[in-house]
Amino acid sequence: MNPLPPLPALRAFEAVSRLGSVVQAADELFVTHGAVSHQLRALEEFLGVALFERQGKRLILTDEGRVYAMQIRIALGEIGEATQWVQAGPRPNELVISVLPSFGLHWLVPRLPDFSRRHPEYRLRLRAGLAVDDLRGGLVDVAIRMGNGQWPDVKQLFLLEDRLLVVAAPHFNGGDLPQTAAQVMRCPVVRSVENWRPWYIAAGIDGPEPNGLNCNDSNLLLQAVKLGQGIALTRLSLVVDMLRTGELVQLTDISMPYPNRGYWLVWPLRTEGTRKLQDFSAWLVEQVAQYLAQLPASLQGESAVATS
């Protein structure tokens, strides 16, 4: 097997082929233009192929150079991605947690200082994520996900179910808040992905689904509600602290389980049995128990500790 060309020569060639200039390539690589020219000559000598045609001070890629530049660009990109993957992987003293953005912002982050106080030996890193695939890629130690469980090739622990309820800012409608389900139906609504039909059924009313501002992100929805732009049907876990502080209020006492989905702690098989997993999972189960115990009985969901 022939040795590979020197990496500096490949980087110089890729930069010149992309920028069309030795001077610009030298500036990008923080070397002199003479060094770049030397690397190009060395690469051509190594390959035994002319990569550029020299027309005065201009360098024009040959047909072989054009194909080679495309392949080298792809290869260097893959090397860069592989390097980032290795650098991004968890270190022994790090705990990398992937979490749903909304649940992370409103539920997990306010509680994490307690974990850091108890376990100062870990440097915490948070990654916002929705998929389970990043667990299998070795980039995270553990994740919190919402779903039905039973994801393949990972271990999982059911944490809790969420609940849906209707909330508003206390100053919404000048402070004249709706008191009945029928009055709620007539309010402007800030919508996300949540289906209002189960709430209507629980309230014993019928009618078309409400219209209003539509947001594809729960954090945008909650900001609009806090500004008094409408009411919203949302998850209890995202607003529980706002309800306690009075930043938001619940409209009527009607709530229901979030349909067919719960929060799970999920981890890759390589993390099984590690001290960092044991420490974090034990702490998280304790936090869930405290969270549920502090809820009014009407809003308490279910929790479990069975793994699969």
- At 263-304, the pLDDT tens digits run 999 998 888 889 999 999 999 999 999 999 988 766 765 444
Q: What angle, rounded to 10 degrees, do the helices at 236-245 and 218-226 form?
A: 30
Check pLDDT > 80 for residue 91: no
115-147 tens-digit pLDDT: 999 999 999 999 888 776 666 667 788 999 998
Query: For the chain, which residues make up each domain, given as ranges?
Result: 7-88, 91-308
Contacts of 113 (CB under 8 A, 6+ apart): none
pLDDT on residue 113: 96
Hey, what are 156's tokens? 């999982």
What does the alpha-carbon distance between residue 287 and residue 292 come to, in Å, rounded to a whole number? Answer: 9
Say whether 91-308 and 7-88 share the same fold. Answer: no
**Average pLDDT value over all residues in the chain:** 86
> Beta strands of 73-151 (E only): which ranges?
94-99, 123-128, 142-147
Rounded to an integer, the average pLDDT of 200-227 is 87
Our measurement of the distance from residue 267's CA atom to the centroid of its chain's CA atoms, rounded to an integer in Å, reads 15
Q: Shortest CA distance to 212 belongs to which of 200, 194, 198, 199?
A: 194
Q: How far is CA 30 from CA 36, 148, 149, 250, 264, in A?
A: 10, 52, 51, 59, 48
Topology classification of domain 91-308: D-Maltodextrin-Binding Protein; domain 2 (3.40.190)
**Is the domain defined by 7-88 classed in CATH 1.10.10.10?**
yes
Residue 303 has a pLDDT of: 43
Percent of the chain with pLDDT over 90: 39
Claim: this prediction has a pTM higher than 0.85: no
pLDDT at 188: 92
Confidence class of residue 306 from pLDDT cuts 50, 70 and 90? very low
Mean pLDDT of 83-89: 61
| CA 188/CA 204 separation, integer angstroms | 20
Q: Averaged over 238-258, what is the pLDDT? A: 92
Asked whether the CA dihedral 10, 16, 22, 25 is positive or negative, the reply is: negative
Pairing of strands 142-147, 123-128: unpaired
Stretch among 30-34, 54-58, 85-89 having the lowest mean pLDDT: 85-89
Split at pLDDT 50, 70, 90, the class of 90 is low
Q: What residues contact 207, with CB distance under 8 A and at least 6 apart?
A: 185, 200
